[in-house]
Structures are given as structure tokens and as C-alpha cells.
Amino acid sequence: MQSLPLTLLAPAQQVAEQSGSNPIITIGAFLLMLALLVVVHELGHFLTALWMGINVEEFGIGYPPRAMTMFERNGVKYTLNWLPLGGFVRFAGSADGSQDGIYGVGSLAAAPPWRKILVMVSGPLMNFVLAIVIFAVIFAVAGVPTPTGSQQIGIVFEGTPAAAAGIQPGDELISLNGVAVTESDVIATTAQNNPAQPVEAVVVRDGEELTLSVTPGPWTAPDGTPYESGFGFSYGPTVEVVQVGPLTAISRGFTHTFELTGAMLEALAQLPASIAGIFSPEPSPAGEPIGPVGIARATGEVIQQPGGFLAFWNLTAILSLNLFILNLLPIPALDGSHIIFALVEWVRGGKKVPPEKEALVHAMGFVALMGLMLVITINDVINAFQGTPVLGGG
């Protein structure tokens, strides 16, 4: 049972932007994150297999070739492997379940379909639970960000209508063209409805309310995305941090995890365009997926900013949700594909797809995944040499 190589599906602006990092701190933080995500995921498979009476031969971090066997206990080898892209649980036994072991009484292949499905779902589910726990702890320690009903200006890009109008980073945007900016879509709607027409922007700067005139017009984002009519700044809800008790923190951990999962599922529709953007000279509006190198750089970027400790755990939770979603997709070699085969077996009344055919599908899928990860990694390395930040504003 293999877990998906680490990729980032969440919108980058949900994290932060910061350039420059200490490579030693970055590598250490990335390895800690990787180990936690992989161990939690594979632990779900592992513990559920034991509960289901299914034998396990190996619990591996990373993909083979094997680097070392850390220890062996009750017939299970716990190993480190050279490719730090995920992990796996190797189940014991033959297809007929004739091989017994200390932990179980049969093989995964011989288990009823419903048991297989439980084993396969448990890995991604553990990543989902981990995200809830991390978010709950963050809210308990740092408080819950609560929107105040306005938008905070982030980056003001050079040569844009916003820069010409004197809008500055940190301004609190109260209204545009007489409309209160209680929702972020007011900004895009105002820009699209008033091309080349001056509009009144009311902002609060250093406690003082200012009225500025800004004319929406064409501009190009740093990632190459063109806008026919826009302002040229990044923004997000203005929030105040409210301290809460443990129960409220746990509740918000649940709700925030579900909300973010919904946003990721919406972003999933743009994943093909994101992958295609790697091969195209024109940048994809959906952005580009990143692999382990990109995630390592992202880790370095967030831990170097103020509040980097909490930002690191926020990124870890986001990546954990990525693993939850992507591993459940019906991609050969991943949990979702195994679940599909088990469902087919269940519908057919226990009649399995021939093992050699299923193995061939998973093998081909794994090779394709590794090829895609190689391309993404090369793209990550190129971006690193060019100094392109991984995480940025909108």
C-alpha cells in the first residue's frame, strides 16, 4: 500500500509569501513534516490491517531502494528508503491467505472486500484527522481569526492602477464606488464593471480614513496572468484574532478543515490545467503543482516569516489535507484505485479482478506517477535557480 508522493494542491495564497531561508532549518523542518505526514498516513493502514487480522511484513518511510532497517518487531520490519516521496505498508501472505503471522490470520488479497476498503480508507482518513488536530491546536494557542467585514490590502504590484492611486500594503479597504467591501468578490466585480472609469476607494491607514481615486485597468501579475480590468493588489479579509477555549478551538478545527477541504476540491478541477502549465510557455492561471523540492522551499519560506512556527504547522495541515484528497482519487497505485478494485470485487459477489491484471494496472500507474513527479521536481529546481517564490499573493 503506497501513499501519494507529496504535492501541493491548496491555493498558495492560503499560506504566505517570504523569500530567503536558512537551508539547514529548511531541510530539518521539511524532513520533520515529511516524516509526520507519511507516518500518520501509513499508521492508519497499519493499525487497521492489524485490527482486521491482516498480516504486515514491512512499514516503510520513503520508497525503495531500502536505505536501512531501523528495527524489526513481531515479524514487521520498520524501514527507511531512499526516495523521500511517500511511504508504504507491505502486506504479507499469498492470495489464498495461507500464510499466517504474529499480527494477523490472513493476507490482504484474501480479505473480504469491505475489510480491504477499511484498510485503504484509513490512511487518508488519518491525514484528515491530523489536519483537524493541528488546526485545533493552532486555534487554541493563537486564537481564531475572525473577519471584521473589510478587506486587507497585501501586495501592491508596481505599475498597476492601485500603485498609481497611492494604495499601500496594509491599507484596510472599506468601500469601493460606494459599495461596502464586506465580501472579496466586490473588488473583482467593481473592477470588471468600471473599466477605465475612476472609482472611489475608501481605506483606513494608521487609524485615519482616506478617500482615493483609482481607475481599473489592464495589468499583468508576476506569474504572467493578465487582467483586462483590475486594480493590481492582493487582498484578504481583515481579521482580528479572538482567543477561545479548548472546546471552541476543537469545533473551529473541524469546521475549518471541512471548509478548506471544499476549497481544495474546487481547486482539483484546475489540476489538469496546472500540470499542463508546466509544459507550456504560457503560465497557467491555475498555477503549477509543486513536488517535494517545491514543498521544501515552501517550508523554508513560511518558517522564516514572523510567526513562522505556527505557519509551519498550518502548511503541514494543508499538506495533510492534500494527501487525504489525492490519495482517494482513482489513480492507479494509490489508495483510491485499490478501493475501486475492492468495490468491483464486492459488486461481483467476491469474484476478483485477476491479480496479475490488477498488479499491472498499479505498476503502470506508479511508473506514470514517478514520471510526473520527476517533471514536477525538475520544474521545482528550475524555479529555485530562478529565485521564483513558491508561495505568493494573488
CATH code at position 163 = 2.30.42.10
pLDDT of residue 174: 92
pLDDT string in tens for the chain (394-residue length): 555 445 544 433 343 333 345 677 777 788 888 889 888 999 999 999 989 888 899 998 888 899 999 999 988 999 999 887 678 888 875 443 333 333 334 578 888 899 999 999 999 999 999 999 999 999 999 998 888 888 888 888 889 999 999 999 889 999 999 999 888 888 989 999 999 999 999 999 998 999 999 999 998 887 677 888 889 888 888 888 889 999 999 999 999 999 989 888 887 777 666 666 666 655 554 456 666 666 767 776 666 666 678 888 988 998 898 889 888 988 887 888 889 989 998 998 888 888 788 878 877 877 877 777 777 777 767 766 766 666 544 3
pLDDT of residue 88: 86
d(CA 359, CA 207): 65
Cβ neighbours, 10 Å, residue 114: 12
pLDDT of residue 83: 80
Residues in the chain: 394
CB-CB contact of 322 with 8 (8 Å): yes
Residues 223 and 301 in one domain: no
Residues 233 and 256 in one domain: no
- 153 bridge partner residues: 235
Residue with cell 485477476: 354
d(CA 44, CA 2): 12
Domain contains 391: no
Q: Which domain holds residue 51?
A: 12-143+251-386
pLDDT of residue 100: 37
Residues 255 and 131 in one domain: yes
C-alpha distances (whole Å) from 202 to each of 87, 267, 363 are 52, 32, 59
Residues 187 and 232 in one domain: yes
Residues 181 and 279 in one domain: no
CA 299 distance to own-chain centroid: 12
Helices assigned H by DSSP within 52-204: 113-142, 161-165, 185-193
Q: Collect all residues with Cβ–Cβ distance below 8 Å to 382 and sequence separation of at least 6.
A: none
Residues 275 and 375 in one domain: yes
Q: What is the DSSP letter of 305?
A: S
CB-CB contact of 144 with 216 (8 Å): no
Domain contains 393: no
The three-class DSSP label of residue 272 is helix
Cα radius of gyration rounded to whole Å, the chain: 24
State the greatest distance between any 2 C-alpha atoms of the chain, in Å, as a whole number.
79
pLDDT of residue 343: 93
Residues 256 and 139 in one domain: yes
pLDDT of residue 374: 76
Domain contains 91: yes
pLDDT of residue 93: 57
Residues 88 and 175 in one domain: no
d(CA 149, CA 183): 7
Residues 134 and 171 in one domain: no
pLDDT of residue 384: 66
Residue that is last in its domain, among 195, 212, 242:
242
Residues 25 and 151 in one domain: no
Residue that is last in its domain, among 177, 212, 242:
242
d(CA 357, CA 363): 10
pLDDT of residue 8: 45
Cell of 305: 516569516
Residues 98 and 187 in one domain: no
Residue that is last in its domain, among 242, 269, 285:
242
Burial of 365 (0-12, 13-18, 19+ CB in 10 A): middle
Residues 89 and 116 in one domain: yes
Total domains in the chain come to 2
